[in-house]
Amino acid sequence: MKMRQSITIALLTVICLLSNMRFVNAQRQTEPVVQSEPIENITITASRSHMAISQIPATVWVINNEQLSREIASGVDLKNMLGKLIPSLDFGNENRTNFSQNLRGRRALVMIDGISLNSTRQISRQLESIDPFNINRIEVLSGATSIYGAGAAGGIINIITKNANNTTNAQNAEALLSITSGLNNSDDLNRKLGIAGYVNDSSFSARLALGASNTRGAFDADGTPVFPDITQTDTQFNDTLDAQLNMDYRIHSQSQLSFMGQFYESEQDSDSAAYLGPNLIGLFGFPEFIEIRDGLQLDAQPRTQRHAFHLQYSHQKIFGQQFLAQFFYRKEAFRFYPFPFIFRVQGSPFPGNAFPVFGSSEQSTEVAGTKLVLVKSLDNGQLTYGVDIDNESFDAQQRIYDIVDAFGSGGLLFNPIQTLQRYPDIDSKHYAVFAQLNQQFNRHWSITGGFRYQHTEHDVGDFTGLLQQHLDQLGFYPASPDVITGGSNDYSEWLANLGAVYHLSADQQFWANFSQGFDLPDPARYYGQGRYNGLFGEGPTLLSRLNVSDNPLSGVKTDALELGWRRSAERYQLQLSAYYSLSDKTTSFDPANLSIQINDDERRIYGIEGQIDFDISDRIYTSLQAHFLSSHTKVADSWRDLAAEEASPDTATFRVGYRHNNLGLELQIQRIWDYQDENAHRLEGYQLAHLNGFYQLPLGQVSFGIQNLFDKQYQTLWSQRAQIIYGTLSTPELFNYAGQGTRFSLSYELTF
Please spell the DSSP secondary structure of 348-366, one letter per residue: -SSGGGEEEEEEEEEEEEE
Distances from the Cα of 696 to the Cαs of 27, 384, 506, 662, 701, in angstroms? Answer: 7, 43, 35, 5, 4
CATH topology of domain 2-415+429-566+575-751: Maltoporin; Chain A (2.40.170)
Rg (CA), the chain: 26
Q: pLDDT at position 167, please?
A: 65
Residue 441 has pLDDT above 80, yes or no: yes
Residue 221 has pLDDT above 90, yes or no: yes
**Number of helical (H) and strand (E) elements in the chain, helices listed first:** 6, 40
The span from the CA of 714 to the CA of 372, in Å, is 48
Q: pLDDT at position 7, please?
A: 47
Q: 715: which DSSP letter?
A: B
Q: Which residues of 19-52 are buried (b: 16+ CB within 10 A; e: fewer)?
A: eeeeeeebeeebeebbbbbebebebebbbbbebe
Tell me which residue of 319, 221, 262, 367 sits closest to 740, measured CA to CA.
221
Average pLDDT over residues 208-218: 96
Q: pLDDT at position 555, please?
A: 76
| Cβ atoms < 10 Å from Cβ of 656 | 16
Q: pLDDT at position 664, please?
A: 95
Residue 20 has pLDDT above 60, yes or no: no
CB-based contacts of 596: which residues, under 8 Å, 6+ apart? 521, 522, 525, 526, 587, 588, 589, 590
Mean residue pLDDT of the chain comes to 89
CB burial of residue 679 (10 Å; 0-12, 13-18, 19+)? exposed
Q: Are 142 and 58 in contact (CB under 8 A)?
A: yes
| Cβ atoms < 10 Å from Cβ of 752 | 10
Q: pLDDT at position 10, please?
A: 44
Q: pLDDT at position 52, please?
A: 78
Q: Which pLDDT band holds residue 32 (cuts at 50, 70, 90)?
A: very low
Residue 588 has pLDDT above 70, yes or no: no
Q: pLDDT at position 591, please?
A: 54
Residue 463 has pLDDT above 70, yes or no: yes
Residue 280 has pLDDT above 90, yes or no: no
SS3 for 709?
coil
Angle at 742 between CA 64 and CA 660, to 5 degrees: 40
Per-residue pLDDT tens digits for 473-530: 999 999 999 999 999 999 899 999 999 999 999 899 999 999 999 888 888 888 888 8
Q: Which pLDDT band holds residue 121 (cuts at 50, 70, 90)?
A: confident
Average pLDDT over residues 311-333: 93
The span from the CA of 578 to the CA of 628, in Å, is 10
Q: 286: which DSSP letter?
A: -
Per-residue pLDDT tens digits for 59-105: 999 999 888 888 888 889 999 999 999 999 999 888 898 888 999 99
Distances from the Cα of 257 to the Cαs of 13, 247, 284, 315, 327, in angstroms? Answer: 53, 8, 60, 9, 12
Average pLDDT over residues 33-53: 57
Average pLDDT over residues 294-313: 96
The span from the CA of 497 to the CA of 115, in Å, is 21
Q: pLDDT at position 46, please?
A: 62
Residue 467 has pLDDT above 80, yes or no: yes
Structural element, H or E, at residue 627: strand 620-635
Q: Are 292 and 424 in contact (CB under 8 A)?
A: no
Per-residue pLDDT tens digits for 129-171: 999 999 999 999 999 888 887 788 899 999 999 988 766 556 7
Residue 596 has pLDDT above 70, yes or no: no
Q: pLDDT at position 42, please?
A: 57
SS3 for 727?
coil
The span from the CA of 522 to the CA of 396, in Å, is 14
Average pLDDT over residues 516-545: 90
The span from the CA of 470 to the CA of 35, in Å, is 56
The residue that leads in pLDDT, 101 or 38, is: 101
Q: What are phi and psi of 374, to 5 degrees?
A: -125, 140
Q: Are 607 and 104 in contact (CB under 8 A)?
A: yes
Average pLDDT over residues 180-188: 94
Average pLDDT over residues 300-315: 96
Q: pLDDT at position 418, please?
A: 96
Structural element, H or E, at residue 158: strand 155-161
Tell me which residue of 304, 173, 301 sits closest to 241, measured CA to CA.
304
Q: pLDDT at position 549, please?
A: 86
Q: Which pLDDT band holds residue 469 (cuts at 50, 70, 90)?
A: very high
